[in-house]
Homo-oligomer: A and B are copies of this chain.
Amino acid sequence: MEQKRADKIADALEGLIFDGTFADGTRLDEVQLAEQFSVSRTPVREALQRLAQFGLVEHLPRRGVFVRQPGPVELIEMFEVMAELESVCARLAASRITDKALAELQATNARCDLAVERQDPDEYYRENERFHAILYCQSGNAFLEQECHKLHRRLQPFRRTQLRLRGRLRQSMSEHEAVVSALEDGDGARAAEAIRAHVAVQGEKFHHLIASLKPAAE
């Protein structure tokens, strides 16, 4: 499991874009990054190409690569797709999920509950991730699972801010329970609707998401 230098650079750059070090529209200079990472331009270029494929940067031929933060509209769209993908997972999982996975889902949810009691957002975050990962897996469709993980990862920085909303943790919990309940009953339609409502950006969440974007948009 030897990771190439290019991979590590790509990960590092992804982090720097996520945490706002590189604002939207910033040009990423190859030679500058190269000496910053103490490597040649070659691995830097590889990393940038990977980021371009992931949509984090835009590569204009003969012009350079520029950070491409999603705007409000694109973000809403991505969350809509995420909601629909997870909805599909839930519907498929309703008939395909194993007893063991269902038990693990309940256990994960219980740990979420504990995290809410302890007011531990980080722990909640971890268990929440696990909850969704199980759902993806239990769709029984490995390709769908992969696609979900990709988009999930892409939306990660925006979802973290969402969890800081007052009372959001408890509400998120009850939404999880609705999903589990529907899965227990093998009710695909209900499970799909429950997870869609959980993931979709609507109501308060919408305003909070837009507000969190303001600094970067300026």
By a beta-carbon cutoff of 8 Å, the part of chain A in contact with chain B is 2-4, 46, 49-50, 53, 61-62, 73-74, 77-78, 80-81, 84-85, 88, 141-144, 147
Contact = CB atoms under 8 A, between A and B. Distances in A.
Contact of A142 (B49, B77, B144): B77
Contacts of A46: 49
B2 A62 contact: yes
A189 B73 CA distance: 25
Contact of A50 (B49, B73, B77, B141): B49
Greatest chain B CB density within 10 A among A81, A142, A147 is at A81
A3 to B, nearest CB: 8
Q: How many copies does the complex hold?
A: 2
Contacts of A141: 77, 80-81
B84 A88 contact: yes
5 contacts: A49-B49, A74-B142, A77-B141, A77-B143, A77-B144
A202 B141 CA distance: 16
A143 B150 CA distance: 14
A74 B2 contact: no
A78 B143 contact: yes
A74 B50 CA distance: 24
Contact of A143 (B62, B81, B144): B81
Contact of A2 (B61, B81, B144): B61
A135 B88 CA distance: 19
